[in-house]
């Protein structure tokens, strides 16, 4: 946000000079306030921009953390499902073990009963010796097979229990990780809340400074109009003749009283609608362009400095006017402001005619019968 001050430049008559000087000083004080509020508003705007960048970064980190929490929770859910499935398998193996145990118990009972019957009874009931041997071997085989099966089931059950523990440990790690992410998100949310509060506060301060600046600008505009009108009357009283029109200025459509003081920069790097912008355009139209090169020697492009960087544009200056010259009013010659420049259109002895902008607020004027004594002229 850049605030431009309109240079107020006129010849002051002794009778009304002090009144205008007082208003000039008052305007300068208001402009100081405007510059202060503008600087503070810009500072807060930069802080707002920085806070928005920080919030954007925090939002990215929060979103990434939320994604990590979601992904971890999915892993937890998957692991829990695996644990539940393993528990079901363990239950099934317990059922199988119970069944095999019951079968083994039955076989052992049969073997026990066979043992109690005695070898003689078995021998007598067996049809053949082979039948006797087959029955005994069969019972032994069934018993052994059941024991082997139970051993395998126990091994599978042990593996399932180990797998279950592994998944439970994994789940605990995932839960801890999820909790860690949740704490991280909680911290980030708190940071964001703090930044949001600071952003709201800073935006409020920026708005306050902008409001104060706007009020000061309104006061400056009102005071500036008073000064312009006073100087216009003084010029008429001193015998100067003021004419209007546009002077062919290509940016005239952007310039009107109460309009923006600087509606953009021209090709010579001066503000359009200001005296400096008009003079630079007029010189360029006459084949002698004048650029804003003040920065090369640490100066801004204000009218009162034009003679200081005229040589940077390849021009000399003197105290005698020629048609086509740039007339320069310095600050001390007008009681304040930033000076004034105009284009010399005619010279009549000790008087001259000039074309200019912003003598009448943000407007073109052609003034005649102006005393040129003490002014500088860039050739």
CB neighbours (10 Å) of residue 82?
17
pLDDT at 373 over 60: yes
The residue among 182, 203, 238 that closes a domain is 238
pLDDT at 127: 56
**How would residue 335 be classed by pLDDT, with cut points 50, 70 and 90?**
low
- The residue range of the domain holding 63 is 15-238
Q: What is the pLDDT of residues 43-85, one digit of tens each?
A: 999 999 999 999 999 999 999 999 999 999 999 999 999 989 9
In a domain, 231, yes or no: yes
Angle at 69 between CA 65 and CA 74, to 5 degrees: 145
Residues 323 and 192 in one domain: no
Residues 310 and 288 in one domain: yes
Residues 92 and 147 in one domain: yes
Sheet hosting strand 351-357, strand order edge to edge: 241-243, 364-371, 351-357, 340-348, 326-329, 376-378, 317-318
pLDDT at 70: 95
What token pair was written down for 312?
A: 């940077």
In a domain, 64, yes or no: yes
Q: What is the pLDDT of residues 247-294, one digit of tens each?
A: 899 999 998 876 788 889 999 999 999 999 999 999 999 999 999 998
Query: Distance (Å, rounded) from C-alpha 373 to C-alpha 379?
Result: 16
Residues 90 and 227 in one domain: yes
In a domain, 9, yes or no: no
């Amino acid at each position: 946000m850049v605030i431009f001050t309109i240079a107020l430049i006129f010849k002051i008559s002794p009778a009304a000079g002090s009144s205008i000087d007082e208003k000039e000083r008052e305007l300068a004080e208001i402009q100081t306030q405007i510059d202060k509020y503008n600087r503070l508003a810009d500072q807060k705007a930069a802080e707002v921009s920085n806070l928005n960048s920080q919030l954007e970064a925090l939002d990215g980190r929060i979103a990434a953390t939320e994604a990590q929490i979601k992904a971890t929770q999915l892993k937890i859910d998957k692991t829990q499902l695996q644990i539940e499935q393993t528990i079901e398998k363990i239950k099934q193996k317990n059922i199988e073990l119970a069944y095999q145990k019951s079968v083994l118990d039955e076989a052992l009972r049969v073997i026990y009963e066979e043992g109690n019957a005695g070898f003689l009874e078995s021998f007598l009931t067996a049809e053949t010796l082979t039948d006797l041997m087959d029955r005994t071997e069969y019972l032994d085989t069934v018993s052994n097979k059941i024991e082997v099966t139970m051993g395998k089931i126990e091994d599978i059950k042990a593996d399932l229990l180990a797998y279950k523990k592994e998944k439970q440990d994994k789940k605990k790690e995932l839960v801890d990780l999820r909790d860690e992410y949740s704490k991280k998100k909680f911290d980030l949310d708190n940071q964001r809340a703090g930044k949001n509060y600071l952003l709201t506060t800073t935006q409020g301060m920026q708005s306050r400074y902008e409001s104060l600046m706007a009020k000061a600008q309104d006061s400056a505009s009102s005071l500036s109009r008073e000064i312009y009108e006073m100087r216009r009357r003084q010029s008429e009283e001193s015998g100067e003749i003021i004419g209007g029109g546009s002077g062919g200025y290509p940016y005239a459509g952007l310039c009107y009283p109460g309009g923006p003081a600087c509606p953009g920069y021209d090709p010579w790097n001066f503000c359009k609608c200001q005296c400096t912008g008009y003079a630079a355009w007029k010189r360029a139209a006459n084949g002698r362009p004048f650029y804003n090169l003040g920065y090369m020697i640490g100066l801004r492009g204000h009218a009162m400095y034009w003679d200081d960087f005229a040589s940077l544009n390849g021009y000399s200056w003197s105290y005698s006017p020629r048609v086509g010259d740039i007339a320069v009013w310095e600050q001390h010659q007008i009681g304040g402001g930033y000076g004034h420049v105009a284009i010399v259109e005619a010279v009549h002895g000790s008087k001259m005619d000039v074309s200019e902008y912003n003598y009448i607020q943000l407007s073109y004027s052609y003034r005649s019968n102006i005393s040129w004594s003490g002014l500088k002229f860039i050739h």
